[in-house]
Structure formats: structure tokens, C-alpha cells
Structure 1
Amino acid sequence: MKAIGFRTSLPISDTNSFIEFETEKPAPKGRDLLVKVAAVSVNPVDYKIRQNSAKDQVLDTPKVIGWDAVGTVEAVGEEVSLFKVGDEVYYAGDLNRAGSNAEYQLVDERIVGSKPKKLSIEEAAAMPLTALTAWEILFDRIRINEKDKGKTILIIGGAGGVGSIAIQIAKKVAGLKVITTASRPETEGWCREQGADYVVNHKDLLNEMREAGFPQVDFILDFVDANQYWDIMVELIKPQGHIASITGSAVPVALDKLKSKSVSFSWELMYTRSIFQTEDMIEQHHILNEVARLLDDGVLNSTLKATLSGFSADNLKKAHQQLENNTTIGKVVITF
């Protein structure tokens, strides 16, 4: 089968930043599905791993990345019970395994959902990783529930992949009042399309929030940089509120600044369940199926923004370049 990967970490402009190669089609065992991939999307985690996972070394076997896919089940392991051959599926995959940038991929059925029936493969491929991340950060980390309806949430970084679907889920599923950040007319417009009640400029966030009538909010989601916005988030969060972030931190986060307000803080990593094979790993199967239902019912909309036709190293380079420029709105999908 054809796959695309890299042997060493190179700038995306380098000819060998991605290489096409042939490798053996894998065989499923246990709870694995063998999926014939039809489309993939690209996320910031892709280029971060490409830039950092093979520094100062040359891998014997190219590393295949990619953590969003739509495809058809071609074969199943002996313990599979959730899917059968011929089923259309979508999923984000597992950091510990070969990614979706290949014609065929093995994936554990517990982190796979049924593809939304009314969406095209392109529209569906845009959704798994970001929808799982947004759903988990809202309902598993902050644990928003019925009593929180009408409360305020600030989403820092609303126009990106995770921000785009987080706006929708926070507004249309959780029933929150959504404020999000954007700084360009096109990103502001996109955030409003996703359902944001208010859009503020992150370049002067404190004053923008005050002028919008929100000197403090109940919840804050950070999708940009925890430390860059830390002091601002500390000031904006209400006493007994909750801040959650997906961005990681190169230096320690000053959690002591939250003590006087008794504010909670959570990290969210969508891969935690699959990395550690947690007891509730199958929750991602349930989340993806619920998101598929909401997409089919028109409650949620795909965040697809751009499509590249053809599974090639050149198209992967184009997609990575676009994300590295930090101007991407919504999601970029590559069809096979």
C-alpha cells in the first residue's frame, strides 16, 4: 500500500519533508479495524510531531502521522463487536500507532465512530479530533451540565479547528453564552457563523471583554497558549470558575494565582484514553456517534474550510504549510 511519511524532521519547504513509499498492508487482530482511508484532515499536532519527533536522526522506516480519517472497514480483528466489513467510519486515532496518512490503517474500534450519514467524506474527515477535543474539554474536564445553561464561556482562539467546533458545542449543546477571540474580519465572521454570541479582539483582551460587558466569565477555554494568556485568564475567571487548556506549557503554569478564587484548572489531551488504554476508552466511540447524530440532525455543522484533492506528498506539504502560517480558519482536508 502507499503511505506518506518522513525519515527526519525537516522544514516543510524541504523536498524530503514528506516522502511517498510502499509498505505492507497491515492485518487486524483483537479489537482492531482495518480501514481503507478515503480522506484525512490535518491538525496542528501533525506539524508539531513532524518538526520534533525525528530531530537529529534518520529513521530506518518512515514515520507515518495523521490523526483524522474517514474510510470503510475492510477487515476486522477476532474480538471486534462494534463494526462490520463495509461500515463507513470516522476517527482520530492513536498517537502510539501509525497515522492515517496511508491507504490503509489499523485502529481500535473503541475510538471509532460511524461516519455521519448526511455528510460528505470531506465534511466528515474534518471533524473527529477537534470534536473529541471540544467535547472532552467541556463535558469530561470542566464537567458542564444542565445547571450550567446560560453561563458564560470565553474561548481563546475561536477560528481554528478546535475553536470552531467548541463554539458550536458550547452554544448549541451545552447552552452557554459564548464569547470568543478573533482579530481579523474573516475570522470574526467565521466565529459568528459557528454561533458565537460575542467576538472580541485577543490583542487587547481585558479591555475588549470589559467593553463587551464581561469583566469576568464562568469558564475559559485556552486553544492558543496557556502562559501567554495566563494572567489575563486569572483576572477574567469568576471565583469558583474553571479554566481548561489544550496547549501545553514550556514553563510551569502559575497555579497559585488561582488559589484566592478557588478556581479549577484542567489540561485536555484527546489522546489520553488511547495512550493509557483507560477503562473508559470506549467513551470516544460514544462521543463520535453522538457528534455524528448532531451533525446529521443539523445541530452541528462541519468545520471544513478547504479541500485538497489527491493523496500526495505535495498536498500534505501544502496543508502543513497552511497550518504553520497560523492563519488557518476551520479545517483542511485531503481526499484520496
Structure 2
Amino acid sequence: MSVTIRLPDGNEKKYDHPVEVIQVAEDISPGLARAAMAAELDGKLCDTSTAIAEGVHELRILTNKDDESLEVLRHTTAHVLAQAVTELFGPEVQYTIGPALTDDFQYGFYYDFSLPQSIGIEDLAKIEKKMKEIISAKLPIERIVLPVDQAKEQFEKLGQDYKVEMINDLVTNEAVETLSLYKQADFVDMCRGPHLGNTGKIKAFKLLSTAGAYWRGDEKNQMLTRIYGTAFFDRKELNAHIERIAEAKKRDHRIIGKQLGLFHFSDAVGPGLPLWKPKGAVIRRELEDWLRGELIKRGYDSVYTPHIGKLELYETSGHYPYYEHGLFPTIQLEDGSGYLLKPM
């Protein structure tokens, strides 16, 4: 066989035998192999353990200097979180989904669980301790590709009902025939990847909060426990991020607004519905006047529409079927006609 690897600097590596990404990295330099987090093979992200098929390929080894690596790091940390929670709280733990977040200001990943007991912010230290044990063990992370039936059977044996449901949906909606699983020690998760080569490559992480989340975002489904966290390549970056979060909380408009006497919230009125005080009303009016002036400068004309409209108006526009359950109830008049409050 013949494998040709084209590198970003224009150089090529040639092999007459099967080769994995990490072996190519090792041939370039041992330092690069140690620093490798993942790779881009022919434009697609992959693990460093990926076997390269016969033929000519474009390969880029990703280290912590590459933006793509941060997502891989955080995704692997989410898997370590799931493993830690499963080991701490027992086989009744159902782990669902745990994506990496790269565009969120505060969080870097989360994982949703169905748990045999309730947990809160006070439990995060215990979970972090278990995660650190898993990271210190430098567990190899193995990618396994199985036929759908075998993957489903494995999760059925593990009692992971949510994973089985997800597999069934993938078969129905995408007609998948195989699935990739990732295994570290005895923990197995279904995932497209890629992931770090071993858990020891996680250097700095922090669990930040817990929250409730409906399965698949549907309030008709079971409420799950979501654990949020973040991860970086070194402790300095992590500490700087935590400091930014703390500073941002000090500047939370809900806190500053109350401190400055701009607005007030009342349970009698409803959550998220501010009552503007005189100082706040001045600021709001100034902003409205500025915005109105900018629109006029740009040639816009103002129009005013009623705050309510006939139900048929929203049916004609096509909005009603999509917003029906998120709107205030229809106002029914004696003549049988229905009106809705303007949603925007």
C-alpha cells in the first residue's frame, strides 16, 4: 500500500504501511506528538488515533495553539464529568448529552443527567475531585465504531434509556448504520468526536453551576440536572476567565439597575417585567429619543399600529401556528371574533 501525507508547510510524508495520525506527528517530531490534541484530515476533524487510508491526504496536527483544539478539550472534559458523576452516584445515573461550548461567555461545556438524587452547587467540589482522579489516571480514550444494533444493545445493557432513544432517532431520521462510541476505562459514551488521546491532557477545568433542563428542551419531557463547567489549556487562562465572570456579575444590569434606583421588580407584576423609576425613565427616554433621531437621519418614517389585532391577521401571516403556544390567550368577544396581543 502507499500513503502520502501532505503537510501545511508543503512537505510530504510517505508510508508503505498503515499509519495513524499520532505516528505521523511522532515522525515530524516527538514534541509535536506530545502536544497533539487532535488533527484535521482532508478538512475533517479527527482523533490522533485515526488510521489513515491508502492514498494522498492533507493533514494538519492540532495543538493548543489551534482554535479547534479548545472545543476538543472541552468536549473531552464533558465526558470526564459524565464518568465522574456515574462513578459517584451509581448505575442509576442516566447521562444524556454533553456538548462543548465555544461561543458562550461563561460556560465551556455542560452535561445533562437524570439522577437518582438531587444535587446542587454544594456537590460540585466532590465531582471535581473525582474528575481530577480520572484525569490523573491518564486513561486512554478509545474510539469504537459499531453497527447500530450492537451499539444499541450495549446501551440497553447499561440501562441508558436516553442513549437508546437517541440511537432510534438517528436510525429513523438519518438512516445511520454504524455509530462511534468513546471508551475510557469502563465508561462508554456515544459521540461523533473527536476527543483527546487520554484524560491526562486536561490541565485546567472548573465546574461552575447546576441548573434544570428539560430533555430535548421540551417542557413535556422529564426535567434533567444540567452541570455547567469550563476548561482551558492552562491554569492561568482558567483563572483569568473566572475573574472575568466575577467582574461581569458585578456589572449585571439587574444588579446595577436596582443599586442606582433605575427600575424595580415586583412579584405582583410578574418576573422580568420592570417598573421604571424616575431616573430609569429619563435614561429610557433619552435612548428612545436618540434611536428615533438616528432613524430619521437615515430616512426612515414612523408608523404606529394597534397593540391588538384580529386572530385572522396572524393566521394569514403564517405566524399563529408557530407562536400559538407562546402567546397570551386569545381575547374572545361576544360576537365570536378573536383578538391577540401584538407579540412584538
Q: Which of the five TM-score ranges fits, normalised by the shorter chain?
A: under 0.3
Q: Which has the higher helix share?
A: 2
TM-score by length of 1: 0.23
Higher relative contact order (CA 8 A, sep 6+): 1
TM-score by length of 2: 0.22
